[in-house]
């Protein structure tokens, strides 16, 4: 088996070979040249974002670090109502990482980028010594053009708005937790990792004045809702029974004492929009993901808090998220 | 809510009479009561007290110090349940020790640490065996397997505890106990009957909102009748005889010993340690672990909280220096700890 070596990161002949064989082969496009920077035209309002990806294991049920690194950035752009246009990617590779894995990752990035409609415009490769990184780290930066008349922000939630999720929650976090911790629990649960511009674009078509769109990545839907509640100075009341959770995820959460509301999603957004448009939005979302649902309402009471109305008719505060997710003893 | 449950909820919300103090002994009960907003249903005359039934919360500081000694001085692999990671020792928690290079690994079951011992025969693997009658059998199985297979690099650092001693230590702290259903599933209900003979009332409760509300309503109703009682409100899981095979297993591998409970002090014969026939699997004996005193935490009211003498919010450290991110007392560490629940659910 061939491996990435420190020589691949030296900047010389072997670096050129690696770039030709892996990156140029998979990322081929008119904007990707051998020059120092990509050059292109871009008009109007633009959104830009960057994100680092360090997931372990690099490959998991439903995706890999390559797919994730494209989805993460594409979805951040989509949340601002921006059509993804150009992507750059920087790789930090640990010496000894198999070349075949690197090719698999590059192929997966290409496939996801094509699906998301974003072009890979520039890249960088560094190799570090054994033990100085965990296999491979990827950083991607993306630029997108904001659709006409769209203005979303975490501070735009208003009293009476509907709180909507674009599909069942927590599957990515659950899949990674099981793959990483070797807890002896076996399920075929797979990550929800997916690029979301198409989904968001359809939502903006039916409701251009969506107030908030957020992808519920690290920290999950619960953390995102707390952020929105704080940014917008509002309260959020969720209907516990309406929150879509895959049976496999709720089973694992039950065993480990975790709440799916804190598990990461990589292909789900939280949408906050005028309640009168909620049905249209959910219908647009369900064309992509049948489990999309309205899960709650924004209120002017309970500012900064997220409250759950429970199956038994009581109100419980959703605990403020924080710290590492640790499975409980009993 | 169905008809029966509504009636039970009605009993709890409409109760007026002498103030009732009911102690949910079990940490999972504490957690579920908050999670489902069950306190919302209670009349002002009913107070729930969160008892000592979270194994992490009652684990003494010195136990973490022992584990860190094994990690740093004896280069052992330390395997632990997740929620023990953040418990503060005298100097460090396991989580901080890991960041400083200790080989601490989170496992879901004791048998997972046995797998690690098999996979890494050149290292010594220590499993941090905490827990009540619910988790102790799993440790016992791991030790029996290790002995049968002749695995020489696996030991337990025991801090296992049993509930009956705690019930006696807590007599008078509440008008009735909500007994921990999962413990009773193992031990049966004889101990609850004995408590009734001693004049202490209680009901075994399950863990769904319906089961908790039912058990609380039964308790409130029967307290009104003024006679000591015991009712098993979790019969779908708890049989009077418990699990005889689990009881036999524990008895083969472990023997009762005195145990230090954080906040309650030493309770005679309320702990479990490995029998002499399994001495080779006892980390304290194999590694000659010195005895640790455990730093005293000034101002921490965990002991009073565990005994229902004060509410978490009455502790002067609560929410100031002691938070779930920076726990000082053990009750703030685990999600099941009373202080953590009060903090998170405000």
Distance CA B88, CA B333 (A): 8
Dihedral over Cα of B49, B51, B54, B59: its sign: positive
Residue with more model confidence, B100 or B54: B100
B135 CB neighbours in chain A (<8 A) are 329-330
β-pairing, A212-215 vs A59-60, is: unpaired
CB A87: neighbour CB atoms within 10 A? 27
Q: Which helix (H) or strand (E) holds B287?
A: helix B283-287
Among B210, B232, B254, give the residue marking a domain's end. Answer: B232
Which residues 154-183 of B have a C-beta within 8 angstroms of A?
A: 182
pLDDT digits (tens, 9 = 90+) for A221-264: 999 999 999 999 999 999 999 999 999 999 999 888 889 999 99
Statement: residue A329 has pLDDT above 60: no
pLDDT digits (tens, 9 = 90+) for A68-124: 999 999 999 999 999 999 999 999 999 999 999 999 999 999 999 999 999 999 999
User: Quick one: pLDDT band at residue A330, thresholds 50, 70, 90?
Assistant: very low
| Residue among B180, B325, B335 with most chain A CBs within 10 A, to mutate | B335
As a whole number of Å, the CA-based R_g of chain A is 21
**Å between A183 CA and nearest CA of chain B:** 5
- For chain A, which residues lie within 8 Å of any Cβ of chain B, measuring from their own Cβ? 181-185, 256-257, 305, 308, 310-317, 319-320, 322-324, 326-330
User: Are the beta carbons of B213 and A312 separated by less than 8 Å?
Assistant: yes
For residues B122-145, one letter each, b for 16 or more C-beta atoms within 10 angstroms of the residue's C-beta and e for the rest, the string is: eebbbbbbbbbbbbbbbbbbbbee
Distance CA A311, CA B2 (A): 11
Q: How far is CA B91 from the centre of its chain?
A: 23
Shortest CB distance from B56 goes to which of A314, A322, A329?
A329
Whether B85 has its CB under 8 Å from any CB of chain A: the answer is yes
Q: Answer yes or no: do B63 and B33 share one domain.
A: no
CB A20: neighbour CB atoms within 10 A? 10
| Residue among A258, A306, A319, A320 with most chain B CBs within 10 A, to mutate | A319
Distance CA B16, CA B2 (A): 24
| Residue among A182, A305, A329 with most chain B CBs within 10 A, to mutate | A329
Statement: residue A153 has pLDDT above 80: yes
Q: Answer yes or no: do B218 and B246 share one domain.
A: no
Statement: residue B252 has pLDDT above 70: yes
What's the whole-number average pLDDT of chain B? 92
Among B212, B232, B252, give the residue marking a domain's end. Answer: B232
Whether B48 has its CB under 8 Å from any CB of chain A: the answer is no
Q: Answer yes or no: do B172 and B41 share one domain.
A: yes
Shortest CB distance from B36 goes to which of A184, A312, A324?
A312
CB B290: neighbour CB atoms within 10 A? 10
Among B208, B232, B256, give the residue marking a domain's end. Answer: B232
Q: Domain tally for chain B?
A: 2
Q: Answer yes or no: do B151 and B217 share one domain.
A: no
- At residue A32, the pLDDT reads 86
- At residue B201, the pLDDT reads 97
The reply to whether B314 falls in a domain is no
Residue B330 has φ and ψ, to the nearest 5°, of -65, -25
For the segment B43-50, the average pLDDT, to the nearest whole number, is: 93
Question: Please, which residues have CB within 8 angstroms of residue B26's CB and are 6 or more apart in sequence?
Answer: B51, B53, B54, B178, B179, B180, B181, B182, B183
- At residue A133, the pLDDT reads 92
Tokens 């907003």 belong to B37
Q: How far is CA B316 from the centre of its chain?
A: 24
Shortest CB distance from A184 goes to which of B27, B112, B210?
B112
Report whether A234 contacts A157 (CB < 8 A): yes
Inter-chain CB pairs, A–B, below 8 Å: 92
A313 CB neighbours in chain B (<8 A) are 1
Distance CA B33, CA B180 (A): 13
Distance CA B251, CA B259 (A): 17
The reply to whether B316 falls in a domain is no
Residue B273 has φ and ψ, to the nearest 5°, of -130, 160
**Å between B201 CA and nearest CA of chain A:** 25
The reply to whether B281 falls in a domain is yes
Q: Answer yes or no: do B74 and B87 share one domain.
A: yes
User: Quick one: pLDDT band at residue B340, thresholds 50, 70, 90?
Assistant: confident
Q: Answer yes or no: do B118 and B190 share one domain.
A: no
The reply to whether B105 falls in a domain is yes
Q: Answer yes or no: do B113 and B256 share one domain.
A: yes
Distance CA B256, CA B267 (A): 11
Among A221, A77, A223, CA closest to A150:
A77
Residue B232 has φ and ψ, to the nearest 5°, of -90, 105
For the segment B72-96, the average pLDDT, to the nearest whole number, is: 91
What is the token pair recorded at A128? 């570090």
The reply to whether B301 falls in a domain is no
CB A315: neighbour CB atoms within 10 A? 12
B9 CB neighbours in chain A (<8 A) are 312
| Entry pTM | 0.83
The reply to whether B86 falls in a domain is yes
A311 CB neighbours in chain B (<8 A) are 36, 209
The reply to whether B294 falls in a domain is no
User: Are the beta carbons of B182 and A183 separated by less than 8 Å?
Assistant: no
- At residue A181, the pLDDT reads 73
The CATH code of the domain that includes B197 is 3.40.50.11750
What's the whole-number average pLDDT of chain A? 92
The reply to whether B344 falls in a domain is no
For the segment B267-280, the average pLDDT, to the nearest whole number, is: 96
Least CA distance to A315: which residue of chain B? B37
User: Are the beta carbons of B36 and A314 separated by less than 8 Å?
Assistant: yes
Among B246, B103, B78, CA closest to B156:
B78
Q: Which helix (H) or strand (E) holds B63?
A: helix B61-72
Shortest CB distance from A330 goes to which of B5, B182, B346?
B182
The CATH code of the domain that includes B70 is 3.40.50.11740
Report whether A318 contacts A222 (CB < 8 A): yes
User: Are the beta carbons of B131 and A330 separated by less than 8 Å?
Assistant: yes
Distance CA A93, CA A19 (A): 13
Distance CA B289, CA B287 (A): 5
Report whether B180 contacts B28 (CB < 8 A): yes
Shortest CB distance from B109 goes to which of A184, A322, A323?
A184
Whether B74 has its CB under 8 Å from any CB of chain A: the answer is no
Whether B134 has its CB under 8 Å from any CB of chain A: the answer is yes
ipTM of model: 0.74
Q: Look up the domain containing B98 and give its range.
A: 57-163+242-286
User: Are the beta carbons of B36 and A316 separated by less than 8 Å?
Assistant: yes
What is the token pair recorded at B45? 């005359």
Distance CA B297, CA B91 (A): 11
**Å between A320 CA and nearest CA of chain B:** 6
Residues of chain B with pLDDT > 90, as a percent, come to: 69
User: Quick one: pLDDT band at residue A325, thresholds 50, 70, 90?
Assistant: low
Q: Answer yes or no: do B157 and B80 share one domain.
A: yes
Q: Answer yes or no: do B218 and B127 share one domain.
A: no
- At residue A178, the pLDDT reads 87
Write down all domains in chain A, each with its CATH number in brackets.
Answer: 6-146 (3.30.1330.10), 162-317 (3.90.650.10)
pLDDT digits (tens, 9 = 90+) for A159-207: 999 999 999 999 999 999 888 877 778 888 899 999 999 999 999 999 9
**How many residues are there in chain A?**
330
Burial of A28 (0-12, 13-18, 19+ CB in 10 A): exposed
pLDDT digits (tens, 9 = 90+) for B314-334: 999 999 989 888 888 878 877
Q: Answer yes or no: do B173 and B47 share one domain.
A: yes
Strand, helix or coil at B281?
helix
Q: Which helix (H) or strand (E) holds B284?
A: helix B283-287
Q: Answer yes or no: do B220 and B82 share one domain.
A: no
Strand, helix or coil at A232?
helix
Q: Answer yes or no: do B76 and B123 share one domain.
A: yes
Distance CA B145, CA B279 (A): 14
Report whether A161 contacts A274 (CB < 8 A): yes
Give chain A's end-to-end CA distance (angstroms, integer). 44
Where do the H-state alpha helices sit in chain A?
A: 13-18, 25-27, 65-79, 99-116, 171-181, 197-206, 220-232, 247-256, 278-286
**Å between B73 CA and nearest CA of chain A:** 24
B34 CB neighbours in chain A (<8 A) are 316
């Amino acid at each position: 088996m061939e491996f990435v070596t420190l020589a691949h990161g030296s900047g010389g002949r072997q670096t050129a070979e690696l770039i030709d064989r892996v990156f140029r082969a998979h990322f081929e496009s008119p904007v990707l040249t051998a020059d120092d920077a990509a050059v292109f035209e871009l008009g109007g309002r633009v959104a830009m974002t960057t994100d680092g990806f360090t997931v372990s294991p690099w490959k998991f049920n439903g995706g890999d670090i390559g797919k994730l690194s494209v989805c993460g950035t594409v979805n951040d752009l989509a949340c601002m109502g921006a059509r993804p246009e150009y992507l750059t990617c920087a790789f930090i590779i640990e010496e000894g990482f198999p070349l075949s894995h690197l090719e698999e990752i590059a192929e997966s990035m290409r496939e996801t980028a094509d699906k998301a409609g974003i072009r890979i415009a520039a890249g960088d490769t560094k190799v570090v010594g054994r033990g100085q990184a965990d296999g491979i780290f990827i950083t991607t930066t993306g630029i997108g053009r904001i659709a006409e008349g769209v203005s979303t922000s975490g501070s735009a939630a208003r009293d009476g708005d509907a709180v909507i999720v674009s599909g069942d929650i927590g599957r990515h976090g659950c899949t990674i937790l099981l793959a990483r911790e070797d807890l002896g629990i076996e399920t075929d649960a797979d990550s929800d990792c997916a690029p979301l511009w198409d989904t968001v674009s359809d939502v903006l078509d039916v409701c251009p004045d969506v107030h908030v769109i957020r992808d519920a990545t690290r920290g999950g839907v619960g953390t995102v809702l707390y952020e929105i509640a704080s940014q917008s100075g509002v309260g959020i009341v969720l209907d516990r029974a309406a929150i879509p959770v895959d049976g496999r995820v709720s089973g694992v959460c039950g065993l480990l004492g975790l709440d799916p509301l804190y598990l990461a999603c990589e292909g789900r957004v939280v949408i906050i929009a005028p309640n009168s448009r909620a049905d249209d939005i959910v219908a647009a979302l369900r064309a992509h993901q049948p489990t999309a649902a309205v899960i709650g309402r924004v209120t002017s009471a309970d500012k900064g808090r997220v409250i759950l109305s429970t199956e038994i008719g009581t109100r419980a505060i959703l605990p403020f998220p924080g710290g590492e997710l640790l499975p409980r003893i009993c | 809510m169905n008809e029966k449950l509504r009636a039970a909820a009605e009993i709890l919300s409409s109760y007026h009479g002498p103030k009732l103090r009911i102690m949910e002994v079990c940490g999972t009960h504490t957690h579920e009561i908050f999670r489902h907003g069950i306190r919302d249903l209670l009349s002002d005359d009913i107070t729930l007290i969160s008892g000592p039934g979270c194994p992490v919360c009652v684990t003494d500081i010195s136990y973490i110090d022992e584990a860190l000694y094994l990690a740093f001085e004896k280069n052992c692999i330390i395997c632990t349940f997740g929620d023990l990671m953040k418990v503060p020792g005298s100097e460090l928690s396991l989580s901080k020790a890991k960041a400083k290079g200790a080989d601490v690994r989170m496992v879901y079951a004791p048998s997972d640490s046995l797998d690690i011992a098999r996979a890494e025969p050149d290292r010594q693997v220590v499993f941090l065996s905490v827990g009540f009658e619910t988790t102790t059998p799993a440790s016992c199985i791991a030790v029996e397997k290790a002995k049968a297979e002749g695995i020489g690099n696996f030991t337990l650092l025991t801090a296992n505890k049993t509930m009956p001693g705690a019930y006696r230590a807590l007599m008078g702290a509440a008008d009735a106990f909500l007994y921990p259903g999962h413990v009773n599933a193992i031990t049966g209900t004889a101990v609850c009957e004995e408590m009734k003979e001693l004049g202490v009332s209680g009901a075994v409760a399950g863990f769904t909102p319906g089961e908790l509300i039912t058990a609380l309503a039964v308790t409130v109703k029967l307290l009104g009748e003024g006679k000591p009682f015991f009712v098993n409100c979790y019969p779908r899981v708890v049989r009077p005889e418990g699990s005889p095979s689990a009881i036999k297993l524990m008895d083969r591998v472990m023997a009762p010993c005195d145990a230090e409970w954080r906040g309650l002090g030493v309770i005679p014969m309320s702990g479990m340690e490995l029998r002499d026939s399994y001495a080779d699997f006892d980390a304290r004996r194999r590694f000659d672990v010195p005895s640790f005193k455990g730093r005293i935490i000034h101002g921490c009211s965990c002991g009073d909280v565990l005994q229902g003498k004060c509410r978490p919010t009455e502790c002067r450290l609560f929410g100031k220096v002691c938070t779930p991110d920076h726990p000082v007392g053990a009750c703030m560490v685990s999600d099941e700890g009373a202080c953590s629940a009060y903090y998170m659910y405000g």
